[in-house]
Amino acid sequence: MNALKSSPAAVFAQRHLLGIEGLLPEEIIALLDLAEQAVEVSRQVEKKKSVLRGRTQINLFFEASTRTQSSFELAGKRLGADVMNMSVGSSSVKKGETLVDTAMTLNAMNPDILVVRHHAAGAVHLLAQKVGCSVINAGDGAHEHPTQALLDALTIRRHKGPIHDLTVAICGDILHSRVARSNIMLLNALGARVRCIGPSTLLPKGLDRLGVEIFTDMRKGLAGADIVMMLRLQRERMDGSFVPSVREYFHFFGLDAEKLAFAKPNALVMHPGPMNRGVEIDSAIADGPQSLIRDQVEMGVAVRMAVLEALAQNLPNG
Amino acid sequence: MNSERLNPSERPLVLTNARVIDPSRKLDAAGTVIIADGEIVAAGPEADALPRPDGAEIVDCRGKVVMPGLIDMRVFVGEPGAEHRETFASAGHAAAAGGVTTIITMPDTDPVIDDVALVDYIARRTRDTTLVRVMPMAAVTKGLKGREMTEFGLLREAGAVGFTEGRHSITNALVLRRALTYARDFGALIMHHPADPDLTGSGVMNEGETATRLGLSGIPKEAEIIMLERDVRLAALTRGRYHAAQISCAESLEIIRRAKKAGLAISCGVSATHLALNELDIGPYRTFFRLSPPLRSEDDRKAMIEGIADGTIDVIVSSHDPQDVDTKRHPFAEAADGAVGLETLLAVGLRLVNNGEADLLAVARALSTRPADLLGLPGGRLTPGAPADIILVDPAMPWVCDGEKLSSRSKNTPFEGARFEGRVLRTIVAGRTVYAYAAG
C-alpha cells in the first residue's frame, strides 16, 4: 500500500469528477487504492469517518435512480457529511426553471459537493461551470458515469488483480450507454483489452476510434474474455426501433450459460443494474457463481466514499 | 428597390488611391471610386482622371480596399415575435458594423412571413429603423407547414426577393416540385435547407467519433446529401431555380458540381462559420457551436473553402441567428441551433484571403455579386449607375472578437476571443455612411 503514503489528493488534484476521460492512470489507481480502505471501513461495525464533517453534500438527481443515489447518500454519511437528496424531475423543472437556474439556487445555499445526474449529455459540465463547489457526475445522458466505471474497476481488481492484460467484453446497448463510455475510457487507460459486442444498430459511429474491438457475434466476442460486462437494454428500444423484439435480442445477445461458455472458464460476469432478467441476462447467470453483480453494489459505496474523500481534500479550507 | 427610403447623402464622395474590387467585372486594381446621389458614378482606374463632383468629400484610401457592400442571403431576425433576441434596428446596426449593406431576412418568425401584409409590414417597419437594406424572403408554404404554397406572385410584387422555409425542410417532394415549377413563372428563387428531419432524428451534432465521445446523438451527413440529391433531381425535372441555403459536407459539394456541369439552374451557399470551424470546436459542450447544419469534420471544412475558391459554392452567408440565454444556456442536446454572424462574416472571408486559400475577388463575389445576381438585385457591383452600397476595408487591421461589444442584441458568437485580420472602416448604403470605425 505504498500509494497511500502520499495522500491521494496529491495524486488526484481535481476539483470535479466529471468523467473518466482526461484522468491519468495514476489518478484512477489512487482512487481505487483509497476505495480499498473504504471497503475495510464499510465492513466494520463503526463505519463512520469524519473527513467530511461539517460539509454539505447535495445529491441532485434529474433522473430517477435508486441504486446510485442511495450509494452516494450512504457514502457521504459514512464520511460524516450532511447529505441532502433532491429529485428535481418533478418540481422546479416542470415549472420552467432551467438547469442553470436550479444550480444557481442550490449554489446560493453553499454546498461543498454536488452530485448530479441528468438525462442530457454535458449537463453536468454546464452545471460545474456555474457553481462554486465540487461537482461529481453521477451519470449524464449517454456521456459518462465515472463512479460506475471506478466501481467496476475496483470489483475486477479485487477478483482478478491488476487490470492490464485482461480482456473485457462490454455487451449490449453501447449507443445509449454512459456506463460503456466510462468503462472504455478507464479500462483503456489501465491497459486492458476492451471489446464491444452488440447489434450494429446499438453501436455508435466512430466507436472503433475509441480503442475497442467490435463484434456483432456474441460468441466470437466472448471468446477468451476474462470479464463479461452486460449493459441494460431499455424496453422502449426493443419495440422495433433498434432491435425487433425482446425474444430476438435475447436469442443473439442475452447472456446465458451456452454463450458464457465461450469466455474463459473462470470469466466473471458484471452488470451495472438494474437488470432485465431474461432480456440481456439469464437469471441463472445473474445469480450464479461467476456473477459479481452483488459485489459491484458493495464496491459502489466504497468507490463513492473514495471520490468524496479525494475531492474533499481539494476543497478550499480542506 | 428601397434606395429612395435611405436618404442619399447630400455630399458626393470620392475614394482615391484605393484597391478597387468589383467581382462583376473581375476588377482588382488601384483606382478611384466616385459616388453621388446614392449611386456609383465610376469606379476603377478609369475614374482616376474623371472630374470630382462639386463639394465632394475626398478620402485617400491608400492601402485600403473598396468593394461592394455585403449581401447576406440568410439572416434570422427576432422581429416579429422574438424582439428580445434581435430587432430590425439592432440587426441593422450589426450589419452596418460588419460591412453588410443588404440583409435578406428569413420568414420563420412569429407570425410567419407568408402573406403580402407581412412583407409590407417589414418594408414599413425597416424603412425608418434600419441602417441597411432589408429584403425579406417569404415562406414557400403557408405557415411553414410544408403543404400549401404561398402567393408567390403577389408576395414578389410586395417585395419578397425569394422563397424559403428558413430553418425548415420540405419533406414532401411533390410540394417542392410544385413550388419549383410555379416559382419558375415568376423567375423566383427557391432557397431550401436540405436536412432530412427523419435522418436527423434526435441528432444534435455531426455523427462520428466526436459525438460518440461526447455521448451526443449524431446527424449523419446523409441527412443533407440525400435531400440535396433529391432536390437536384426535382430542379432538373422542373427546370426551376433552386438554391441550397447552406451545404456543409464534401459530398454535397460534389452534388452541386455535377448539377452545375449538367447546366441546371442550381446554386448553393455556405455559412462563414462552416468555413472557419469544425466539429471539434464544440469542445466541452459549447452550445454557441450548435448549428444547423452541424459543424462537420475538418475535411468537410476544407472542401467548403475549395468550393468558394473555385466558385462551386456561390455565396457565403452569415446564417445570423440570434439566440439568448433562454435558448442557449442549456445542456447541449436541449439548446437551440444558431449563432450570430453579421459582424464576423467579412472577417472570416478575409481570413481565407489572408491564408491564401481563396483570392479576394472570389470571396467578394460570394459575398456580394453572386447573391445580387441570384436575387436580381442591382447592387453587389461597382458599375456606373449601381446603388452606392460600398464598404471601405482595411484588409490588414488586426482585431479580437469580443461578444460583449457586438452590436447585435444577442451575443451568441462562436468567435469569442477569435483573432481576425481585416475589418470594415466605413459602410455606405445608398451613398450615406451608416457606420464608421472608431478605434477602441
Give the pLDDT confidence of B369-417 residue by residue, as tens digits.
999 999 999 999 999 999 999 999 999 999 999 999 999 999 999 999 9
Contacts of B280 in chain A (CB under 8 A): none
Q: Which of A221, A227, A116, A235 lies closest to A176 in space, CA to CA?
A: A235
Q: Quick check: A140 contacting B, CB < 8 Å? A: yes
Mean pLDDT computed over every residue of chain A = 92
Domain co-membership, B89 together with B184: yes
Split at pLDDT 50, 70, 90, the class of B325 is: confident
Q: Quick check: B198 contacting A, CB < 8 Å? A: no
Q: Which of B208, B215, B220 sits opposite A181 (nearest CB)?
A: B215
Residue B237 has pLDDT above 90, yes or no: yes
Mean pLDDT computed over every residue of chain B = 96
Domain co-membership, B76 together with B51: no
Residue A281 has pLDDT above 80, yes or no: yes
Domain co-membership, B283 together with B316: yes
Between these two residues, B10 and B383, which has the higher pLDDT value?
Answer: B383
* Kind plus residue range of the DSSP H or E element containing B174: helix B173-184
pLDDT for position A3? 41
Split at pLDDT 50, 70, 90, the class of A249 is: very high
Domain co-membership, B60 together with B73: no
* B314 within domain boundaries: yes
* B341 within domain boundaries: yes
Alpha-carbon gap, residue A254 to B2, rounded angstroms: 69
Alpha-carbon gap, residue A3 to B364, rounded angstroms: 63
- b/e sequence B284-305, b meaning 16+ C-beta within 10 Å: ebbbbbbbbbbbbbeebbebbb
Task: Say which residue the cell 407568408 belongs to.
Answer: B114
* B380 within domain boundaries: no
Q: How much is the pTM? A: 0.92
Domain co-membership, B148 together with B183: yes
Domain co-membership, B230 together with B103: yes
Provide the CB-side half-sphere exposure for A281 (13 A, CA). 28
Answer positive or negative: Cα dihedral of B49, B53, B58, B63.
negative
State in Å, rounded, how far the first CA of chain A is from the last one: 24
Verify whether the Cβ–Cβ distance B216 to A141 is below 8 Å. Answer: yes
Share of chain A above pLDDT 70, in %: 94
**Mode of pairing for the β-strands spanning A113-118 and B218-219:** unpaired
Contacts of B284 in chain A (CB under 8 A): 122, 125
Domain co-membership, B132 together with B15: no
Q: Quick check: B244 contacting A, CB < 8 Å? A: no
* B151 within domain boundaries: yes
Q: Which of B323, B347, B321 lies closest to B335 in space, CA to CA?
A: B323
User: What residue numbers bound the domain in which B398 lies?
Assistant: 3-66+388-436
Q: Quick check: B236 contacting A, CB < 8 Å? A: no
CB distance A223 to A262 below 8 Å: yes
CB distance B320 to B94 below 8 Å: yes
What is the torsion angle, in degrees rounded to the nearest 10, for the CA atoms of residue B307, residue B310, residue B314 and residue B320?
50
All three cell numbers of A218, joined, read 456474441
Verify whether the Cβ–Cβ distance B332 to A100 is below 8 Å. Answer: no
Domain co-membership, B252 together with B128: yes
All three cell numbers of A254, joined, read 442475452
Contacts of A181 in chain B (CB under 8 A): 212-213, 215
Q: Which residues contact A253 (CB under 8 A, 6 or more apart)?
A: A171, A172, A197, A198, A199, A218, A280
Q: What is the CATH number of the domain that holds B163?
A: 3.20.20.140
What residues are paired with A268 via a beta bridge?
A227
77-136 in A: which are within 8 Å (CB) of B?
Answer: 98-100, 118, 120-123, 125-126
Measured in degrees and rounded to the nearest 5, phi and psi for residue B19 equal -85, 110
* B381 within domain boundaries: no
Alpha-carbon gap, residue A178 to A188, rounded angstroms: 15
| Residue in A124, A205, A207, A242 to test binding to B, most B beta-carbons within 10 Å | A205
Cα B97 to the center of its chain, rounded Å: 15
Alpha-carbon gap, residue B36 to B51, rounded angstroms: 12
The last residue of a domain, from among B375, B397, B424:
B375
* B382 within domain boundaries: no
The predicted-structure confidence for B55-112, as pLDDT tens digits, reads as follows: 999 999 999 999 999 999 999 999 999 999 999 999 999 999 999 999 999 999 999 9
Alpha-carbon gap, residue B33 to B42, rounded angstroms: 6
DSSP 8-class letter at B295: P
Residue A95 has pLDDT above 90, yes or no: no
Residue B2 has pLDDT above 50, yes or no: no
pLDDT for position A87? 81
Q: Please give the radius of gyration of chain A, using alpha carbons only, rounded to the nearest integer.
A: 19
Verify whether the Cβ–Cβ distance A143 to B218 is below 8 Å. Answer: no
pLDDT for position A49? 87
Verify whether the Cβ–Cβ distance A205 to B333 is below 8 Å. Answer: no
Residue B93's CB: how many other CB atoms inside 10 A? 22
pLDDT for position A10? 74
What residues are paired with B133 via a beta bridge?
B102
Q: Quick check: B261 contacting A, CB < 8 Å? A: no
DSSP 8-class letter at A144: B
Q: Quick check: B214 contacting A, CB < 8 Å? A: yes
Alpha-carbon gap, residue B284 to A2, rounded angstroms: 35
Share of chain B above pLDDT 70, in %: 98
Reduced to 3 states (helix: H, G, I; strand: E, B; else coil), residue B64 is coil
Q: Quick check: B216 contacting A, CB < 8 Å? A: yes
| Residue A290, min C-alpha distance to chain B (Å) | 31
A236 class by beta-carbon count within 10 Å (0-12 exposed, 13-18 middle, 19+ buried): exposed
Residue A289's CB: how many other CB atoms inside 10 A? 7
Residue A186 has pLDDT above 90, yes or no: yes
Lowest mean per-residue pLDDT among A225-229, B134-138, B325-329: B325-329
Chain B residue whose CA is closest to A123: B331
Mean pLDDT of the region B214-234: 98
Mean pLDDT of the region A237-247: 83
Residue B21 has pLDDT above 50, yes or no: yes
Alpha-carbon gap, residue A234 to A280, rounded angstroms: 10
All three cell numbers of B115, joined, read 402573406
* B383 within domain boundaries: no
Strands (E), B23-161: 27-36, 39-44, 57-60, 65-68, 70-75, 100-105, 133-136, 138-139
Lowest mean per-residue pLDDT among A60-64, A281-285, B73-77, B79-83: A60-64
Mean pLDDT of the region A221-242: 89
Split at pLDDT 50, 70, 90, the class of B1 is: very low
Alpha carbon distances (Å) from A93 to A25, A108, B66, B204, B305: 38, 18, 53, 22, 43
The predicted-structure confidence for A262-275, as pLDDT tens digits, reads as follows: 999 999 999 998 99
Q: Quick check: A21 contacting B, CB < 8 Å? A: yes
Contacts of B216 in chain A (CB under 8 A): 121-122, 141-143
pLDDT for position A96? 61
What is the torsion angle, in degrees rounded to the nearest 10, for the CA atoms of residue A127, residue A129, residue A134 and residue A139?
40
Verify whether the Cβ–Cβ distance A122 to B331 is below 8 Å. Answer: yes
Alpha-carbon gap, residue B237 to B235, rounded angstroms: 5
Q: Quick check: B215 contacting A, CB < 8 Å? A: yes
Alpha carbon distances (Å) from A252 to A216, A244, A291, B355: 9, 12, 20, 54
CB distance B293 to B246 below 8 Å: yes
CB distance B269 to B277 below 8 Å: no
Measured in degrees and rounded to the nearest 5, phi and psi for residue A42 equal -70, -15
What residues are paired with B394 via a beta bridge?
B423
Alpha-carbon gap, residue A10 to A4, rounded angstroms: 10
Domain co-membership, B60 together with B84: no
pLDDT for position A56? 96
Verify whether the Cβ–Cβ distance A205 to B218 is below 8 Å. Answer: yes
Split at pLDDT 50, 70, 90, the class of A93 is: low
Residue A238 has pLDDT above 80, yes or no: no
Chain A residue whose CA is closest to B207: A205
* B223 within domain boundaries: yes
Verify whether the Cβ–Cβ distance B215 to A141 is below 8 Å. Answer: yes
Reduced to 3 states (helix: H, G, I; strand: E, B; else coil), residue A128 is helix
Q: What is the CATH number of the domain that holds B417?
A: 2.30.40.10
Q: Which of A124, A106, A57 lies closest to A305 in space, CA to CA?
A: A57
Verify whether the Cβ–Cβ distance B334 to A118 is below 8 Å. Answer: no
Alpha-carbon gap, residue B277 to B281, rounded angstroms: 6
The last residue of a domain, from among B328, B350, B375:
B375
Domain co-membership, B208 together with B76: yes
The predicted-structure confidence for B423-434, as pLDDT tens digits, reads as follows: 999 999 999 999
| Residue A42, min C-alpha distance to chain B (Å) | 34
Helix A67-78 vs helix A25-43: angle between axes, to the nearest 10 degrees?
Answer: 80
pLDDT for position B50? 96
Verify whether the Cβ–Cβ distance A206 to B214 is below 8 Å. Answer: no
Domain co-membership, B237 together with B251: yes
pLDDT for position B439? 76
Domain co-membership, B126 together with B243: yes
pLDDT for position A6? 58
Q: Which of A118, A140, A206 sits opposite B209 (nearest CB)?
A: A206
Residue A128 has pLDDT above 50, yes or no: yes
Measured in degrees and rounded to the nearest 5, phi and psi for residue B133 equal -75, 135
The last residue of a domain, from among B325, B352, B375:
B375
Q: Which of B209, B210, B329 sits opposite A100 (nearest CB)?
A: B329
Alpha-carbon gap, residue B103 to B342, rounded angstroms: 9
| Residue B200, min C-alpha distance to chain A (Å) | 14
Residue A103 has pLDDT above 90, yes or no: no
| Residue B84, min C-alpha distance to chain A (Å) | 18
Verify whether the Cβ–Cβ distance B331 to A121 is below 8 Å. Answer: yes
Residue A89 has pLDDT above 50, yes or no: yes
Domain count across chain B:
2
Mean pLDDT of the region A265-286: 94
| Residue in A126, A129, A148, A183 to test binding to B, most B beta-carbons within 10 Å | A126
Provide the CB-side half-sphere exposure for A194 (13 A, CA). 24
Split at pLDDT 50, 70, 90, the class of A94 is: low
Q: Which residues contact B370 (CB under 8 A, 6 or more apart)?
A: B23, B267, B314, B315, B380
Split at pLDDT 50, 70, 90, the class of A99 is: confident
Q: DSSP string covering B341-363, please? A: -TTTHHHHHHHHHHTTSS-HHHH
Residue B3 has pLDDT above 50, yes or no: no
Q: Which of B211, B212, B285 sits opposite A125 (nearest CB)?
A: B285
- b/e sequence A128-163, b meaning 16+ C-beta within 10 Å: beebebbbbbbbbbbbbbbbbbbbbbbbbbbebeeb
Which residue type sits at B103? Answer: I
* Kind plus residue range of the DSSP H or E element containing A137: strand A134-140
| Residue B327, min C-alpha distance to chain A (Å) | 10
- Determine the Cα angle at B238 with ends B201 and B102, to 5°: 70
Q: Which of A118, A205, A210 sits opposite B331 (nearest CB)?
A: A118
